[in-house]
């Protein structure tokens, strides 16, 4: 059968008939399509490899050298922070291999620019500029990290922590825009719009392990200061309860960032943090201060501009 087919094709090619020419043209077309598909497959494989590497680099740039945990289990690096001196595990509360649900569009009406300075016990460290985006009516926040000179580190994405959908979304930009959405296991603690307990912050001088240390103006907003001390370390936070800033419940969600690991207290008086400093017993120090607040922001990120890379699919 094969021999007969080969002879038929050979004759068709050899004899300059319309049928023979048609077969030849179809063979050429099929061959061209095969070459094109092979090249496309190789290109897609290369893009997948580069995308995976970019995602890995982005995780390292944002959260440090930690691998996302399959079941949450965060320590000081995840969730609400480990507190001054917390020595929790480095696993993150994001589940790999998932395709979490997201909002169609993330909009933000408050943008908070901060300066961060972190040094370890040996005096090594660095400065960074972190811009946090909030929506005073929604349970999600967006974060962008830049170096001290205002440049965004290579591979650093725009991070959305979405308590409503229990998702952490990495939006990647560059030659190709795409996003990855992971399940965020610690999201529930930030979903509440207001603290359950009722406290008169105008009169209270001590709250849990905190004592009030004064009032001052930061970036144009009045802030109350509180200090806590423990054998593991000390922390000082200045919070504002100005309604234009919202309730600040999602600020501490950013404590999983590499630059802020171990620096955010596990809890602090209710409000938007405008300044924070901590010193752990081992000598690690972190200071953070808000430098600018825009309460009339009009920012939005549409997921159609950042198509999701479906994990676990080819």
**Is pLDDT above 60 for 229?**
yes
Tell me the torsion sign for CA atoms 209, 278, 237, 296: negative
Q: pTM of the predicted model, to two decimals? A: 0.69
- The pLDDT of residue 38: 66
Query: Hunting for tokens 């009032």 — which residue is that?
Result: 215
What's the CATH fold of domain 64-302? outer membrane lipoprotein receptor (LolB), chain A (2.50.20)
Residues 67-120: pLDDT tens digits? 444 333 333 333 333 333 333 334 555 666 567 899 999 999 999 999 988 888
Residue 224 CA to residue 218 CA, distance in Å, equals 10
What is the reported pLDDT for 35? 64
Domain locations in the chain as residue ranges: 2-49, 64-302
Higher pLDDT among residues 28 and 135, named by residue: 135
Least-confidence region, from 9-23, 76-90, 262-276, 288-302: 76-90
User: What's the rounded mean pLDDT across residues 38-55?
Assistant: 55
**What tens digit of pLDDT does each residue of 233-250 get?**
899 999 999 999 988 878
């Amino acid at each position: 059968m094969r021999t007969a087919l080969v002879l038929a094709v050979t004759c068709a090619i050899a004899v300059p008939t319309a049928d023979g020419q048609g077969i030849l043209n179809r063979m050429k077309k099929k061959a061209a399509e095969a070459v094109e598909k092979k090249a496309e497959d190789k290109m897609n494989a290369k893009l997948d490899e580069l995308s995976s590497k970019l995602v890995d680099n982005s995780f390292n740039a944002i959260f440090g050298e930690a691998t996302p945990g399959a079941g949450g289990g965060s320590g000081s690096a995840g969730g609400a922070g480990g507190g001054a001196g917390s020595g929790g595990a480095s696993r993150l509360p994001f589940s790999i291999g998932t395709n979490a649900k997201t909002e169609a569009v993330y909009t933000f009406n408050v943008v908070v620019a901060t300066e961060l300075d972190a040094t370890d016990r040996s005096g090594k460290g660095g400065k960074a500029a972190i811009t946090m985006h909030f929506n005073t009516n929604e349970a999600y926040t967006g974060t962008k990290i830049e170096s001290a000179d205002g440049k965004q580190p290579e591979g650093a994405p725009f991070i959305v922590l979405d308590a409503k959908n229990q998702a952490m979304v990495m939006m990647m930009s560059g030659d190709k825009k795409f996003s990855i959405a992971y399940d965020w296991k610690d999201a529930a603690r930030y979903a509440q719009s207001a603290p359950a307990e009722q406290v008169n912050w105008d009169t209270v001088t001590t709250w849990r392990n905190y004592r009030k240390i004064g009032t001052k103006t930061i970036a144009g907003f009045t802030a109350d200061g509180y200090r806590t001390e423990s054998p593991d370390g000390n922390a000082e936070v200045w919070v504002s309860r100005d309604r234009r800033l919202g309730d600040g419940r999602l600020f501490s969600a950013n404590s999983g960032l590499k630059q802020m690991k171990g620096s955010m207290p596990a809890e602090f008086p209710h409000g938007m943090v405008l300044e924070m400093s901590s010193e752990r017993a081992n000598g690690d120090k972190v200071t953070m201060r808000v430098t600018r607040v825009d309460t009339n922001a009009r920012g939005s990120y549409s997921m159609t501009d950042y198509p999701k890379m479906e994990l676990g699919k080819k």
